[in-house]
Amino acid sequence: MSAEIIDGKAAAATLRARVGELAAGFAADTGRKPGLAVVLVGEDAASAVYVRSKGKATVAAGMASFEHRLPADTAQEDLLALVDRLNADDAVDGILVQLPLPEGLDADAVLQRIDPDKDVDGFHPVNAGRLATGLNGFVPCTPLGCLMLLKERLGDLSGLNAVVIGRSNIVGKPMAALLTQASCTVTVAHSRTRNLAHHLAGADIVVAAVGRANFVSGDWIKPGACVIDVGINRTDDGLVGDVDFASAASVAGAITPVPGGVGPMTIACLLRNTLVAAHRRAG
Ligand code: GUN
């Protein structure tokens, strides 16, 4: 093994501590804590775990956490009415509706109902458009966390070749936009890409977010590359990423582990976005 293991837990702890200090300053200045509302619809076990850890992290950072749990058979108009109430609530700076929503609910319509200035997930089309055009908005937490890890390891990214594997609205597309803005030369690959190995051969940066266990072989990775693995896949061997860790770690210059890499940064970035939302709303 030659690669440096990028410690996402440590980076996330540092960011959370900094956000906590700034949140305390915000509370001292304004007389109220930054507030994050999280909405969970239905009983999905993994989503319930995520929501609980988001709530705990919010409180630990000195922010107010508002949790709303609704039954799986909630009507679309009732969910939209809750979003309307949260949009109008001055104690709420950030709103997150946990995905996926139960069948029968229209997630796009719900996400589009969130006030873009409270959209700390960065999923509203207005924020996607702001990111694409280089305007200030909210950037989705996972790609933002990946960018922070890359900058911490590599410093200035300009001129580097980056391959993003995956084209989702939540990770792949915003990741490509962030790397483009950081002056990388960006290739977006995905499950249908032909000859991925050819694209990876020149990649200084690899961000894997395709959702397939061990999809990327270490043989394809350029020696010394920085590899960020967003995948969290449950297999008989436990949780594994989208990158075959053992083979990649012998070639890469640095690599994130799964778990303990990108995951902790996602929550830290959610807190960071909530703090930013509070400041923007306070004017
Ligand atoms: N489900 C899995 N990841 C996320 C996320 O980052 N935000 C939301 N809202 N739902 C998710």
What would be the CATH architecture of the domain defined by 31-115? 3-Layer(aba) Sandwich (3.40)
Ligand 1 interacting residues, C-beta cut-off 6 A = 96-99, 121, 141
Q: 42 labelled as ligand-binding? A: no
pLDDT value of position 264: 97
3-state secondary structure of 67: strand
Q: 228 labelled as ligand-binding? A: no
Domains 31-115 and 141-263 share a fold: yes
pLDDT value of position 205: 99
Given 3-state DSSP classes, what are the helix, strand and coil percentages for the chain, each rounded to the nearest 5?
45, 15, 35
| Best probe residue, ligand 1, of 101, 170, 271 (max atoms within 8 Å of C-beta) | 170
| Best probe residue, ligand 1, of 99, 141, 270, 274 (max atoms within 8 Å of C-beta) | 99
Sequential pLDDT tens for the chain (283 residues): 689 999 999 999 999 999 999 999 999 999 999 999 999 999 999 999 999 999 999 999 999 999 999 999 999 999 999 999 999 999 999 999 999 999 999 999 999 999 999 999 999 999 999 999 999 999 999 999 999 999 999 999 999 999 999 999 999 999 999 999 999 999 999 989 999 999 999 999 999 999 999 999 999 999 999 999 999 999 999 999 999 999 999 999 999 999 999 999 999 999 999 999 999 999 8
Q: Which listed CATH number (3.20.20.80, 3.40.50.300, 1.10.287.1080, 3.40.50.720) goes with 141-263? A: 3.40.50.720
Q: Rounded to whole angstroms, how far apart are CA atoms 142 and 111?
A: 17
- The count of other CB atoms within 10 Å of the CB of residue 14 is 13
Q: Rounded to whole angstroms, how far apart are CA atoms 276 and 282?
A: 10
Handedness of CA 247, 251, 257, 262 (dihedral sign): negative
Q: How far is the CA of 121 from the centre of ligand 1 (A)?
A: 8
Point out the residues that are catalytic: 54, 98, 121
- Read off the tokens for 265: 């940064």
Q: 221 labelled as ligand-binding? A: no
Domain boundaries, the chain: 31-115, 141-263
- Read off the tokens for 252: 């890469």
- Strand 161-165 relative to strand 185-189, pairing: parallel
CA neighbor of 272 nearest in space, from 182, 138, 177: 138
Q: How far is the CA of 162 from the centre of ligand 1 (A)?
A: 24
Asked whether the beta carbons of 185 and 160 are under 8 A apart, the reply is yes
ipTM for this model: 0.95
Helices 8-30 and 141-154, packing angle to 10 deg: 110
